[in-house]
Structure 1
Amino acid sequence: MAAGVKFLDWYGDGSVHVVDIGLACCTLEFESASADLVARSEPPASGAVLIVVSGTVTDALMPAVRDLVTGVTASVPSTPLVVSFGACTSAGGPYWDSYSVTKGIDQFLDVAWYVPGCPPPPGALHEVCDAVRRGDHDQLSAGVRS
């Protein structure tokens, strides 16, 4: 797994762990939602894992994002769920017509949740975590598309 990956125990009880792959301005909204959480560098032994990709993904950056998701997936016991956090991550956002912007991470990752917005509200991420904790979520894997 890549150095610097941090797992946030969202509720402090080991039920939901969140990893942020922060790339641009939506990362600030993620940080606002997770401000009081303690980051750990060790992968969790149990519980659901969410990988939140936030910000604009460029075609040049796509392999690095894919490698991070693959590394996290290999390091945890359960298959993580990928969350596309914000308009840029979901569909390219206001940069959709740029030749270098990936038109959504679902082109190379299986996405379980889309959180819309520019920026998405921090509360929306709490809602996703709440749904995962309740078991009310898609059973999509965070697998990397070939």
Structure 2
Amino acid sequence: MAFEKKSPWLIHYDGSSCNGCDIEVLACLTPLYDVERFGIVNTGDPKHADIFLVTGGVNAQNLPVVRQIYEQMAEPKVVIAVGTCACTGGVFRECYNMLGGMDKAIPVDVYVPGCAARPESIIAGVVKGLAILEEKHKKLKSTGELYVPPKEEPLPFENVKEEKA
């Protein structure tokens, strides 16, 4: 078993959301769902984190914070956008200060849609993120280049294009 699968560390950040997804992320840590069975350790320090789990969208005020957390994380790293707000901006995307989903600020590896995203979906996204982290680690170790995952199929609501006046 690879080192990443033994003890990946996760940092969670809430952008601008209703906090519904944050409650579900916390439910993942309870004994009922127990995300720690995969060896996940929750940390508050981006320098120790391998996985950046983010909820909520990007607005003008949290954009520098999101980028700073991302830049402080060591390579290889994985970003998981949890909830519709983190994926596309959700119900807040038309607000004057919203820029959209997390992919407007940083590269996202895994999208976990839902409002609010269920703990089972979040855990499935984390497990998928662990596989991507493993591939990134192998590529970084063998070639010195970072792994860029293949583009995921767009979510059904990503195909809807709205024109702004």
**Normalising by the residue count of structure 1, what TM-score does the alignment of the two structures yield?**
0.69
Question: For the structure 1 residues 39 and 95, does the alpha-carbon distance in structure 2 shift closer, same or farther, using more than 3 Å as the test?
Answer: closer
Q: Which runs of 5 or more residues in structure 1 are unaligned?
A: 1-9, 142-146
In structure 2, what is the equivalent of residue 66 of structure 1? 67
- Please give the alpha-carbon distance, in whole angstroms, between the structure 2 residues aligned to 1:122 and 1:137: 24
Q: 1:110 touches 1:140 (CA, 8 Å); kept in 2?
A: no
- Equivalence map 1:103-114=2 (5 Å): 103-114=100-111
| CA displacement, residues 110-134 of structure 1 (integer Å, 9 cap, x when unaligned) | 1101110111111112112223445
Paired letter, 1:22: D
Larger Rg over CA atoms? 2
In structure 1, what is the equivalent of residue 96 of structure 2? 99
Paired letter, 2:64: P
Greater mean alpha carbon deviation, residues 102-111 or residues 113-122: 102-111
In structure 2, what is the equivalent of residue 5 of structure 1? none
In structure 1, what is the equivalent of residue 29 of structure 2? 34
In structure 1, what is the equivalent of residue 158 of structure 2? none
- Equivalence map 1:1-146=2 (5 Å): 13-14=6-7, 16-23=8-15, 24=17, 25=19, 26-35=21-30, 37=36, 39-40=42-43, 44=48, 49-71=50-72, 73=73, 76=74, 78-134=75-131, 139-140=147-148
Tell me the secondary structure at the aligned position of residue 91 of structure 2: helix
Paired letter, 1:140: V
* Count, aligned residues: 123
In structure 1, what is the equivalent of residue 139 of structure 2? none
In structure 2, what is the equivalent of residue 144 of structure 1? none
Question: For the structure 1 residues 55 and 35, does the alpha-carbon distance in structure 2 shift closer, same or farther, using more than 3 Å as the test?
Answer: farther
- Please give the alpha-carbon distance, in whole angstroms, between the structure 1 residues aligned to 2:85 and 2:71: 21
Percent identity, aligned pairs only?
A: 20
Q: Which runs of 5 or more residues in structure 2 are unaligned?
A: 137-146, 150-165
Question: For the structure 1 residues 108 and 70, does the alpha-carbon distance in structure 2 shift closer, same or farther, using more than 3 Å as the test?
Answer: same
**Normalising by the residue count of structure 2, what TM-score does the alignment of the two structures yield?**
0.62
- Please give the alpha-carbon distance, in whole angstroms, between the structure 1 residues aligned to 2:96 and 2:135: 33
- Please give the alpha-carbon distance, in whole angstroms, between the structure 2 residues aligned to 1:68 and 1:132: 18
Q: Which has the higher helix share?
A: 2
